[in-house]
């Protein structure tokens, strides 16, 4: 673990140094700045004078990388599980990719509009297994009852979107009886 931590630190350090060199040489396009450029600008303004600047930048970048990859991996896992359990759905998605993109190149952003079935799979995955299961807080405008819970007017409450869309009774009302099918 220590060896890997050192390697990650070295890679991130090289990113920061590369960005510093670009800033000082003037070869950086000011209109196109990435996250490390912005962090260097903030640190140059003296907002982190008590901390080691490189450590702040590297720690922030690592936090974003880990946080972003975790939610992406979980969402991809939730997308793949139903596909593995539904071979006909998987085959249809593969056929669409073969027809619209071909077997000899990767999917490009311009291909996405043509991949209607794959888009439906992604939307259904995010509906059934939302990456952020809590909605923004709501305030009851008047007394109401939701799922046998009485909510008084003026009270704040949260909805868990996953519990609403994954409940068979709720799903049969709004969508199809086969919640896990695409």
Domain ranges for the chain: 1-83, 86-128, 138-174
Rounded Cα distance, 57 and 19, in Å: 11
Instruction: Answer whether residue 138 shows pLDDT above 60.
Output: yes
Rounded Cα distance, 8 and 5, in Å: 5
Residues pairing with 134 in the sheet = 160
Q: Using one digit for the tens of pLDDT, what is the confidence trace for 16-49?
A: 999 888 888 877 676 677 888 888 888 876 666 6
Helix (H, G, I), strand (E, B) or coil at 103: coil
pLDDT at res. 118: 94
58 within 8 A of 13, measured Cβ to Cβ: yes
Tell me, what DSSP letter sits at residue 51? S
> End-to-end CA distance of the chain, in Å?
41
Residues pairing with 145 in the sheet = 150
144 within 8 A of 92, measured Cβ to Cβ: no
Rounded Cα distance, 60 and 51, in Å: 13
pLDDT at res. 154: 92
Q: Using one digit for the tens of pLDDT, what is the confidence trace for 54-75?
A: 888 899 888 888 877 777 888 8
């Amino acid at each position: 673990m220590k060896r890997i931590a050192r390697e990650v630190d070295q890679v991130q350090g090289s990113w920061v140094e590369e960005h510093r060199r670009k800033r000082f040489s003037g070869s950086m396009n000011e209109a196109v700045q990435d996250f490390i450029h912005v962090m260097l600008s903030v640190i140059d303004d003296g907002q982190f004078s008590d901390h080691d600047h490189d450590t702040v930048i590297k720690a922030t970048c690592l936090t974003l990388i880990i946080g972003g990859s975790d939610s992406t991996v979980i969402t991809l896992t939730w997308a793949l599980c139903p596909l593995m359990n539904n071979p006909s759905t998987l085959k249809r998605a593969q056929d669409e990719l073969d027809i619209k993109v071909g077997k000899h190149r990767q999917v490009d952003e311009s291909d996405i509009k043509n991949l209607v079935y794959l888009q439906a799979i992604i939307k259904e995955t995010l509906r059934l297994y939302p990456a952020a299961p809590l909605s923004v807080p709501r305030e009851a405008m008047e007394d109401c009852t939701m799922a046998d819970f009485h909510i008084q007017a003026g009270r704040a409450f949260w909805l868990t979107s996953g519990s609403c869309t994954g409940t068979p009774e709720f799903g049969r009302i709004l969508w199809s009886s086969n919640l896990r099918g695409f």
